[in-house]
Amino acid sequence: MSEYEDTIRLLRATVLQVTDKPLPDMSFDTPIRDLGIDSISVAEIVTRIEDKLEIQIAVSEWLRARTLGEFISTIEQARNARG
């Protein structure tokens, strides 16, 4: 299993933990705002993912992500930067 698939699985699990709702079926082009997740929940999701993966994502980076694919790419970039 690739890290990319692991990231998607982690994101789905974290969204469920934070919002008590599963992440709906979507494409990577789906705007984050269309997922029904408010900004406070997004911040909590990012914090949990950072803790789990032992990475740091600058606030400016995850705020810049407009689609689910961009959000996942931001996580992947932080993982790769970690070494």
How confident is the model over 49-72, as a mean pLDDT? 93
**Domains contained in the chain, number:** 1
pLDDT at 70: 94
For residue 12, give the CATH number of its domain. 1.10.1200.10
CB within 8 Å of 73: residues ≥ 6 apart: 65
What type of residue sits at position 11? L
Q: Global pTM?
A: 0.86
What type of residue sits at position 2? S
- Judged against a pLDDT cut of 70, whether residue 1 lies above it is answered with no
Domain residue limits at 33:
3-82
